[in-house]
Structure 1
Amino acid sequence: MSLILNWLESLHADVKITEKCSRQRNYRSTCTVCEQACKLEAISFNERTLVIDSQRCNSCGDCIIACPLSAIKGLAVTREFVHTSLIYSETYIPTEKELLIYKKRGMRAIQITDIPLNEQWDFVLSETNRILKLLGEKTIEVVWNSNEEKLSRRALFSKLQKEGKQIAKNMAPVSWQMEEDEWNLTKYYQDFQFYSVEIDKNKCTLCQACFSFCPQKLFSLADSLLHIHHEKCVNCTACTDICAEEAIRMRPEIKEKSDSVESVNTNKCQDCGQLFFSFQEEKEKCHICIDRDPEWLSPF
């Protein structure tokens, strides 16, 4: 049956980079997550864009799963499922993120046959279960192959013909429908945060560049208050890449979601006369004028 499933999934296995990729949105992006995840070295960088070598790529799906912004379209064709169990295979090593998402999509166990999990799988599963406990979720079990109902080739093809794509989806319920945005971890655990975002108020000029470039919309400013929505952070590094002052830092921290609220001041620039936000009440120049050559005309 797995041969049929692999064939069905391979019909839609093309890997494509979408416009959500941070490399396409920000020329200063340093994100290399997909490249690091690809064991076949099928991904390379061409200026601001990613290039996938179709001759090397085997559509395994590792890059799709790894991307923090779910910016790569495709299916993880090397993963196989039976009902609510992921079939153990030594051909790949899952990540904690992958198993956490499968868990929310209905996976309950990892199914093994004649050999136990290897050391790498065992480590990832242990870490995933540790995180699941922090999230208040049931852990993932390891189960031995049960006596599943087997269909003859004739019966299988007859069933496929009658029920079409729906039976294919039922045979691989977790993997089949993983589409755009499905690999964004924050979508599944909205009451928790996986990172804490810290701003150095002595360095930050509140230029708001990070506001614009953060695809998750972590930052908001209203009524002289800066809100940081930690639960939205996926560690895509878009904010740290664009910050000219290196004033932003992210650190892993799994806990119930919380917002940071910082008071800001509204000052008037002594050079251009424009109002600007600042953490320092005594600051006299906006972030543009403070670095502007006095020999150049004001942009305002």
Structure 2
Amino acid sequence: MVLNADICTSCGNCQFVCPTAALESLSAPQRSFHGAALIAPFSIIPPTVEELLIWHTERGIRCVELDIETSPGWLVALARLNLRLKQLGEPCWTVAQPEEKPVNTGRRSWLRINKADASTASVLPARGLNNSSFALSLEKSSCYLCSACSRICPQAAIEINDEAFILHHSRCNGCKACTDVCLPHALTLTNDLQSGTTRFSVKSTGCTTCQQLFLTWPGGSNECPVCQRHAFGMREA
């Protein structure tokens, strides 16, 4: 990957939307804050919801002191953030009008500008709330429990053992490796907010044809998927 420095605005948004956090070498944007509020100066390009979620979690930010007329893009970003926070059951952010402080024309005040007791910092990507912007779903009737999806998933978002097929939604980064490797297309991935886990019961049993152990759904076939596809008993013991 090549970064064109002549075009890049250093907004940092690519870092927070990258599903694999592959852009660690870039510097995250610096933001000013005071207490639980983000304050000016604001970037021309508004932040992503993913970045604001990290400010919500790590810094406890709950407000933006924002001039709506000069930073309309930030207002849109805040609306998107609050939609996500409502889904998560988290408190929403508010907008506060910046205070207009009287100007002291005295010589000392003019020489020493009285700045607010503010801090400047940045947050690191991939450290937000325990949730994912992707939702995995499984069509049990199509899945024959080959376990290819669980073996290829780099985030261990899919777990298959002798008792259960488990989808760990909060671990999914949307790479689509599982859906690409799934031959019967039993797995689907959507851009929906999801958290927690979904568990499906499975059982280990012996194939009545080849006698080998295999995983199946409760009430499923007594023949393994291979023997079911070979009508002439090619795997018979």
- TM-score by length of structure 1 reads 0.57
The residue number in structure 2 matching 1:283 is 223
Pairs within 5 Å for 1:24-35: none
Letter in 2 for 1:134: Q
The residue number in structure 2 matching 1:172 is 120
Q: Distance in 1 between matches of 2:64 and 2:166?
A: 40
Q: Cα distance 1:240–1:256, how it changes in 2: closer, same or farther (>3 A)?
A: closer
SS of aligned partner of 1:134: helix
Contact 1:68 1:235 in 2 (8 A): yes
Q: 2:71 aligned with 1:108, yes or no?
A: no
List gaps (5 residues or longer) in structure 2: 102-108
SS of aligned partner of 2:136: strand
Pairs within 5 Å for 1:161-200: 171-173=119-121, 175=122, 177-178=123-124, 182-185=125-128, 188-189=129-130, 195-200=134-139
User: Quick one: which of 17, 28, 44 aligns to 1:76?
Assistant: 28
Q: Which has the larger radius of gyration?
A: 2
Letter in 1 for 2:11: C
Letter in 2 for 1:277: L
Contact 2:15 2:23 in 1 (8 A): yes
User: Quick one: which of 70, 85, 105 aligns to 1:132?
Assistant: 85
C-alpha deviation, 1:215, in angstroms = 2.6
Q: Distance in 2 between matches of 1:282 and 1:228?
A: 25
Q: Distance in 2 between matches of 1:51 and 1:207?
A: 38
C-alpha deviation, 1:270, in angstroms = 5.0
SS of aligned partner of 1:72: coil
Q: 2:5 aligned with 1:57, yes or no?
A: no
Letter in 2 for 1:239: C
Q: Cα distance 1:285–1:205, how it changes in 2: closer, same or farther (>3 A)?
A: closer
Contact 1:193 1:257 in 2 (8 A): no
Letter in 2 for 1:276: F
C-alpha deviation, 1:248, in angstroms = 0.7
Q: What fraction of aligned residue pairs are identical, expressed as a percent?
A: 25
| Superimposed CA distance per residue, residues 176-202 of structure 1 (whole angstroms, 9 cap, x where no aligned partner) | x52xxx3254xx23xx66554211223
Letter in 2 for 1:132: L
C-alpha deviation, 1:66, in angstroms = 0.8
C-alpha deviation, 1:95, in angstroms = 2.4
Runs of 4 or more consecutive aligned structure 1 residues displaced over 4 Å after TM superposition: 150-153, 192-195, 252-256
The residue number in structure 2 matching 1:163 is none
Q: Distance in 1 between matches of 2:169 and 2:163?
A: 19
Q: Cα distance 1:284–1:259, how it changes in 2: closer, same or farther (>3 A)?
A: closer
User: Quick one: which of 25, 37, 51 aligns to 1:98?
Assistant: 51
Instruction: Tell me how large the CA RMSD over aligned residues is.
Output: 3.8
Q: Distance in 1 between matches of 2:201 and 2:111?
A: 65
Q: Cα distance 1:269–1:276, how it changes in 2: closer, same or farther (>3 A)?
A: farther
| Superimposed CA distance per residue, residues 55-113 of structure 1 (whole angstroms, 9 cap, x where no aligned partner) | 54343312111112323212233x53233415464621322222222211222322324
SS of aligned partner of 1:98: helix
Q: Distance in 2 between matches of 1:138 and 1:88?
A: 24
C-alpha deviation, 1:206, in angstroms = 2.1
| Superimposed CA distance per residue, residues 148-169 of structure 1 (whole angstroms, 9 cap, x where no aligned partner) | xx9979xx9xxxxxxxxxxxxx
Q: Cα distance 1:91–1:267, how it changes in 2: closer, same or farther (>3 A)?
A: farther
Q: Distance in 1 between matches of 2:153 and 2:39?
A: 34
User: Quick one: which of 136, 144, 147 aligns to 2:97?
Assistant: 144
Q: Distance in 2 between matches of 1:115 and 1:183?
A: 31
Number of equivalenced pairs: 215
List gaps (5 residues or longer) in structure 1: 1-49, 157-169
Q: Cα distance 1:200–1:136, how it changes in 2: closer, same or farther (>3 A)?
A: closer
The residue number in structure 2 matching 1:266 is 205
